[in-house]
Amino acid sequence: MKSLFPEISGQDINNISILALAQVGDAVYELMTRTMLCLSQPTAKKLHKARVALVNAAAQSRAASVLMPLFSPEEAAVFRRGRNAEPGNIPSASTREEYMAATGLEAVWGYLYLSGQTERLSELFEVLHEKSS
Alpha carbon 95 to its chain centroid, in Å, reads 18
The DSSP 8-state label assigned to residue 30 in this structure reads: H
State the amino acid at position 52 in one-letter form: V
- Residues 79/108, Cβ–Cβ less than 8 Å: yes
Active-site residue flag, 12:
no
**Identified catalytic residue from 26, 75, 98, 106:** 26
Report how far residue 8's alpha carbon sits from residue 116's, in angstroms, rounded to the nearest whole number.
7
CA separation for the pair 53, 129 (Å, rounded)? 13
Q: How far, in Å, CA of 50 to CA of 25, rounded?
A: 19
Catalytic residue list: 26
